[in-house]
Amino acid sequence: MFPISEGQFGVFSVSFYVLNPSTKTYENLMRWSKTLHATLRDDPQEAEITSHKLLIRAGLVHKVSGGLYTFTPLGLRVLHKVENIVREEMDRAGAQEILMPALQPIELWDTSGRASQMGASMFRLKDRQDRTMVLGPTHEEVVTDYITHMVNSYRQLPCTVYQIQTKFRDEIRPRFGLMRAKEFIMKDAYSFDVSLEAADASYQAMYDAYVRIFERCGVTAKPVEADPGTMGGNHSHEFMVLAPSGEDGVLYCHECGYAANQERAERKTNGSEFPNKAGAPEDVATPGAHTVEEAAKAVGVDPRQIVKSLVYLADGKPVMAIVQGTREINECKLRRALGCTELVLADDATTAKYAGPVGSIGPVGVKISVYADTGLKDANDVVTGANKAGFHTKHVSLDNVSITAWEDLATVIAGDSCPKCGGTLSIERGIEVGHVFKLGTKYTKAFNTTFLDAERKTNIVIMGCYGIGVTRTMQAVVEQNFDKDGIVWPASVSPFQVALLPLDAAKDENCRAVAERLEKELEANGIDVFIDDREERPGVKFKDADLIGFTVRVVVGTRSLEKGGVEVHSRKTGETYVVPIEGALAAIKEALAE
């Protein structure tokens, strides 16, 4: 017992006890009647996708506010199981666990240059000394500062560190439950190497660990090429859980296996569909035509023949990007092509200053750099804006336009040609659950993170980073594992692997004794079991067990004992069978293995 003085918190004392795990100390956590848990019969109105609905209905999470959730006792067990899988595979890959502060000084972000890039998505606050602090959306800056002070010799490299910690992002529109929340749990790892070749090995080790993590969690996660975004670097992969509710498009080729998210995906092009000249350029009046479709109708051409032109500010410098009218400009690709940090669509006044009125602009005669999509190459009969209000120009040849560079700028869609083999690309929706990046020296240069090599020469450390959304992965498991009755948890992450339902224990001594015997056998064999000891009808217990998604349901009742044993039900296969009491443990193990 440790007394706490009056000057600290008032006059009282707190007792601390060491619990003996060999006793039944934790019994209350394994019985419904002693667990703070409740299910819902109807879908919550605010939930938009199946996994979000089921997590709330099954009583695994409770919504506090938009993007903020409390994990209930059973929900937290699932979360911890996902965390443990992640931790085991990170340790297996040679990474060392650390813990960094969620609260970070803004100066670290100023050093990397990302303070302005993150914008309103980063929570900022002032401490009592009026210093600006942030709630970390990620930890590249903090970990690089740590390594800068810890590493000075090549003998200390390679090294990879990781943490499992809460992150904060001020989402404009929190949605889909744990998928896009303001507060979430992430595993973030960071590798530090002496060379690009060594960094490739660290990257591959993390990539392989991610494959194992998602397999063990029971989800199919497809690795795809991705855009690094504000993280920096020049190479990254996302791990996408394919699901109709996914926010991201995933392009893939069945013939060669090429896969990339829609931000990164490329396509093979053969140039313009309109390579033949068809007369001298001619201005056509198109009053009120501001969209591609309206301009095409006014000129009397197919929308594919229109050239879509947009003015952007790249790090404050005006540029024009052009694509075929039926295509969308992929701003991630454009930013990479320009090598800029900030890319924003110019407002109407800026567009008018450098090209012409919005809705009537084109690349002919403009004095700013023009970046053209490769799908327009050799175009000799297209329609562009005339750079004057209410007019477009037909029979334009892009040979007469000063093109700064030809780049793949269009968003790839289903039916496009694979950039690797020329096959036809397909598209599915996906949920990003993990992302691995080759960062190079983006952060280590900014923080002057160096090491001395064997010749005592100073070198910049090469860095990689690797994130897994732990809470997002938990929900993604549900998004891939459910049926009409509820969640179907894989055994590895089920809140409890077995739900034991004694139906007549209160009035049948034999029934109670069999249930207790099974409970002890399961615990002795390392199988976690949850006892539904409520005074409820069997149908209610069955429905709740299916809704929550326990991997195996075991029923001990007068009827099953009369049939010669206990009833074992596999949540995944739907099979139900009665097995002798002596064979129940083996049958349950077999069902879990499935």
Provide DSSP, 173-205. S-BTGGGB-SEEEEEEEEEEESSHHHHHHHHHH
Over residues 74-84, the mean pLDDT reads 98
Q: How far is CA 119 from the centre of its chain?
A: 20
pLDDT of residue 234: 59
pLDDT band for 508, please (50, 70, 90 cuts): confident
Q: Which of 313, 309, 385, 392 is nearest to 346 (CA)?
A: 313
Q: Is 344 helix (H, G, I), strand (E, B) or coil?
A: strand
Is the alpha carbon torsion for 123, 128, 132, 136 positive or negative? negative
Q: Strand 529-531 and strand 552-556: pairing?
A: unpaired
* Alpha helices, DSSP H, located in 330-425: 331-338, 348-354
SS3 41: coil
User: Domain 282-407 in CATH: superfamily?
Assistant: YbaK/aminoacyl-tRNA synthetase-associated domain (3.90.960.10)
Q: What is the pLDDT of residue 107?
A: 97
CATH number of the domain located at residue range(s) 498-593 in this protein: 3.40.50.800
What integer pLDDT is reported at residue 264 of this predicted model? 87
At 469, list the tokens: 């959304």
In three-state form (DSSP H/G/I as H, E/B as E, the rest C), the secondary structure along 413-468 is CCCCECCCCCCEEEEEEEEEEEEEEEEECHHHHHCCCEEECCCCCEEECEEEEEEE
Q: Which ranges of 287-414 would DSSP assign to H, the alpha helix? A: 292-299, 331-338, 348-354
Mean pLDDT value of segment 236-240: 89
Instruction: Give the Cα separation of 192 and 44 in Å (integer).
Output: 45
- For the residues 413-428, what does the mean pLDDT come to? 94
- 48: pLDDT confidence band, cut at 50, 70 and 90? confident
In eight-state DSSP terms, residue 76 is: H
pLDDT at 37 over 50: yes
Residue 25 has a pLDDT of 37
Lowest pLDDT segment from 24-28, 117-121, 491-495, 585-589 = 24-28
Task: Please determine, for residue 1, whether its predicted confidence score (pLDDT) is greater than 80.
Answer: no
pLDDT at 589 > cutoff 90: yes
Q: Where are the domains of the chain?
A: 80-261+425-475, 282-407, 498-593
> pLDDT value at position 165?
96
H or E segment at 163? strand 159-168
Which range in 14-18, 21-25, 31-35, 241-245 is most confidently predicted, on average pLDDT?
A: 31-35
Instruction: Write down the pLDDT at residue 22.
Output: 38
Question: Measured between alpha carbons, how far is 270 from 252 in angstroms, rounded to an integer?
Answer: 20
Band of the pLDDT at 245, cuts 50, 70, 90?
Answer: confident
pLDDT of residue 559: 85
| CATH T-level topology, domain 80-261+425-475 | BirA Bifunctional Protein; domain 2 (3.30.930)
Question: What mean pLDDT is predicted for residues 367-391?
Answer: 95
Partners of residue 555 on adjacent β-strands? 501, 567
Beta bridge partners of 436: 237, 466
Q: What pLDDT is recorded for position 229? A: 56
Residue found by looking up tokens 């390579």 in the block: 275
pLDDT value of residue 8: 46
Q: What is the reported pLDDT for 310?
A: 96
Task: Report the pLDDT value the prediction gives residue 97, as an integer from 0 to 100.
Answer: 98
